[in-house]
Structure 1
Amino acid sequence: MKQIIIIGGGAAGFFCASNIDESKYNIIILEQNSDVLQKVKISGGGRCNITHACFNPKELVQFYPRGNKELLSVFTKFQPGDTMDWFEKRKVSLKIENDNRIFPETNSSQTIIDTFLNEIQQKKIQVKTKCSVKEIEKHNEKYLVKTTSGEFLADYIIYTTGSSPKSLKMMENLGHKVISLVPSLFTFNIKDDLLQDLAGTSFEWAETSIPTLKAEESGPLLITHWGLSGPAILKISAWEAINLAHVQYKFDVEVNFISKTRDEAEELFQNFKKSNPKKTIGQSKIFEITNRFWQRVLEVSKIDLNKQVANISGKEIQAIVTTLCNKKFQVTGKSTFKDEFVTAGGIDLKEINFKNMSSKILPNFYIAGEVLNIDAVTGGFNFQACWSESWLIAQDLNGL
């Protein structure tokens, strides 16, 4: 029986193993850590955001800053609807949340981990943990995999290591081209009086832009202890990951906290002023923002909170509108988004056959997951790429 070695016991490796016909192959999964599926465990704040309710491949690829062209054909064969079907057939109830992210009903990543472990057990697939691969050598038609736990001979290799520099160096040694790694999906470090002591304040919909890059994104926004986060920031960080690495994460970002034009904001203010002239400005609810944030806007605009709305001057209105609609911040660095470290860069996509995720350089060698130069914005998309790529590998090995 032919031997398959899967290097990397994460999402891609386990999904691949779960879909290979075990009657045709002997399969071993090698994982360098003491636990498998570590990223699955922490994903979605420990709830595991397995995919996203976007069922049109052409729309789905729009969420991938790198790999969107290549993934179109992959998603036409296996997309989020197929992922849902796969888990539901294994008695995992799923739910689609308001923002279209998909989670197990249990709200626990352990449900997903247990499903994979159960599949592997039923198929009698061997999993070797604390088994770090040191080198892969080509031996005639086979591969010799040298590890800290001895040597393994493989007819087929499935490489799903994630994007560690060590695993990419190994691929370079085997002749693959690697695009340098840079972080993707990160929050912006900003020190500014407007944000101070307001960590946890959120905005339902904001617009962000990096003028020097002509880049714009919108979505929910969150003030953190370090600066700004939330989808509006994470999306722009993903799309501009390479450019922002070049400027060493020092740049200006412009934020519109209320997603209204200056004219719209001014009109709202003037209408409120007419109908509530005697109200104090500090207690006025003019825009859809929290009280604390509104009062901070007034403080940085140097406006007395006890002043009556009727007495707010045109100049003061301009100061408020500028802070809400055109606030410029200096970004001085980045922070990792939660524990979900995602990178741009990895194995060059030109060297991959996306019909079956095989290497164009190495025979009988398949590659999937974050080790490829593919990444997505937050929301279950990175996992979906893993599931779809791994599915294609399994189908190819199964001869389907």
Structure 2
Amino acid sequence: MITLDLENMLVCRSILKDKLIQELIAASTDPQNLGLSHAFAGHLIEKAETEGWSGNLVRGLFLHLLSQEGCLAAKMAETANGTIGESLRKAFIHDIKKLMPALFQPATSIVNISILEDYKPSIPHTLEATHFLNEQLKGCTTPEAVTDAFLTFYHKYGYGEIASYEAFSWDTKHQKLRGIRHFEAMAFSDIIAYKRQKEQLINNTLAFINKRPANNVLLVGARGTGKSSGVKALARAYYTNGLRLLQMQKSQLNELPKIMATLRQYASKRFIIFFDDLSFEESDSEYKYLKSAIEGGVESCPENVLIYATSNRRHLIRETWRDRADGQDELFRNDSINETISLSDRFGLIITYLEPTQDEYLDIIDHFLRQEGVELDREELRILGHRWNLEHSGRSGRSARQFVTHYLGQIK
């Protein structure tokens, strides 16, 4: 039996705080005590079922801790845009030598419980990042090669929730990012029509990912036309390129300085802060935080952050005819108008979405019906689609999807 020498690690000591690791150390130190081994195995199986781990569960545990909990090497690689100093690398290699048995030896050579060797969970689940790490580790036979595999992983995906999730929310209570586990995003191929708008959105985002000049983006126009779907599709399409989406609420605008400081620490990742359906009333003052974050604040916006917002209002702040009344003092009137349009003007790229044409509307319906194996004659499609949009809120991508849902539900 192999006894792991984990107590003498240098930069990966944070994993010693994990309860399962503590149980593993106790079990491997006293292999004759079957109670310790079975307690560890039982808790590890619980974890495996929760996370969907397959195969060697001891290896899975250590891969999870090194990729999710991270270590000093992971934190510095994230902060320093994927590189670490030579001394820290040597310390990391020192720890990897001690971790090699857990990563490459059979589970039964560490804890003699055979079920841990080739475990099959009820609901298998492998994160894309974990799959990438396993591929990087294939063929690695030396601590130096394993170290480089982990550093490559940290550079591409980061560690912790940043590595695992495409999209995040902001946890106001704990002042931290919170991964969105069940993130729903369409593929760009499922966003029918709006070719020019998609190209603008993608090209600006690719420039941002590739560290070229890119603009904050305001997507404005008719409701249900795919503005939000386009932004969410970016997170799904460019996750492996280091793009992450942070969806925020208008009520959290006053926390933007704290959020910007947090995102600045993840230098190897690119973040889109996303405000969906954003608009302000005249009495709202929160928009000033957004103006300051985009441009003109004391502290500059981090270079790895852009702000994308969708709105049905071109100028974001509600404007009334009273604001333009001739009876007002001229200077006051101009100030009011300038204040109203100044926020939207700070978005360097404004993409407009109009209501789809009749043919585009029918194309959207046809696309999603065909995905479900249903093909309708164009004339029948036209009649049914036209009847639906007359009875509902007009033509839009959202209305088209609702029609498809209704139609599929009525098929016997």
TM over 0.5: no
Give the TM interval when normalised to the shorter protein: under 0.3
State the structure with more CA Rg: 2
Which structure is higher in strand share?
1
Question: Normalising to structure 1: TM-score of the pair?
Answer: 0.22
Higher RCO (CA-CA < 8 Å; seq separation 6+): 1
Question: Normalising to structure 2: TM-score of the pair?
Answer: 0.22
